[in-house]
Amino acid sequence: MSLKLYYDALSQPSRALLIFLQSSNIPFTRCVVNLGKGEHLTEEYKNEVSRFQKVPVIVHGDFRLTESVGILRYLCREYTVPDHFYPKDSKLQARVDEYLEWQHNNIRMFCALYFQKKWLLPKITGEPASEKTIAEYEHRMIDGIDNFERCWLQSGSFIAGDNLSAADIWAACELEQPRIAGYDAAEGRPILSRWLSRVRDELNPHYEEAHTFLNKLVHLNRKAKSAKL
């Protein structure tokens, strides 16, 4: 049965699924949806891909599914996937699930909102957010990342123990996002920094490939900032 992934490499859960699919050797067709050009907002996309008009989406045969964490679980049932990504052992799987549920309102929301307010919305509207607004969102994100490091990285090499799991992929992709807006979560956080290096190492070359465009943007933004100084 054919599998299509609709994604944009600037969407965190899109990158997580992209890396997961490649690392699991699941064959799929890439369907790039350029969010910047509003390709997800067309009637065609709404009717034929997703009524939620977001990415990522999979279409497996004629079955359409949204929500990256739900997609991950579905793929683990439908394909043979390396067990460490989403262990069959009930308690280990529960620990991965615990993180994947926790992250929505603790990591994803804060990193995404900071990125949107500081970088994305000014690009769209042409108006930068006030320094006060950015400082507020940055403060909340910093609290969230500190909390992540304290709650999830204190024992074991990875989030759910000694093996890399989907929890690490989803977490790392979220934590890369604020770099576009100039905030590096690994800076000044040695525990997080070492964990992120392990995640990147385990998932390469797919991790770097999924982050090519993001890294290019980070580089361009740094260059533009230096030119202004």
Does residue number 83 form part of the binding site for a copy of itself (CB under 8 A)?
A: no
Does residue number 136 form part of the binding site for a copy of itself (CB under 8 A)?
A: no
Which range binds a copy of itself by CB under 8 A, 63-71, 120-128, 168-176, 202-210? 63-71
Instruction: Annotate 20-59 with DSSP letters as a single string.
Output: HHHHTT---EEEE--GGGTGGGSHHHHHHT-TT--S-EEE
Q: Which of 32, 94, 191, 220 binds a copy of itself (CB under 8 A)?
A: 94
Distance CA 109, CA 7 (A): 19
Number of residues that bind a copy of itself (CB under 8 A): 28
Nearest to a copy of itself of 88, 228 (CB atom): 88
Does residue number 132 form part of the binding site for a copy of itself (CB under 8 A)?
A: no
Q: Which residues of 29-62 are buried (b: 16+ CB within 10 A; e: fewer)?
A: eeeebebeeebbeeeebeeebbeebbbbbbbbee
Does residue number 63 form part of the binding site for a copy of itself (CB under 8 A)?
A: yes
Burial (CB < 10 A; 0-12, 13-18, 19+), residue 18, is buried
The span from the first CA to the last CA of the chain, in angstroms, equals 54
Q: Which of 97, 149, 202, 209 binds a copy of itself (CB under 8 A)?
A: 97
Does residue number 51 form part of the binding site for a copy of itself (CB under 8 A)?
A: yes
Does residue number 177 form part of the binding site for a copy of itself (CB under 8 A)?
A: no
Does residue number 129 form part of the binding site for a copy of itself (CB under 8 A)?
A: no
Task: Give the interface with a copy of itself as residue ranges (CB under 8 A).
Answer: 51-52, 63, 65-71, 73-74, 77-78, 90-91, 93-94, 97-98, 100-102, 104-105, 108-109, 151
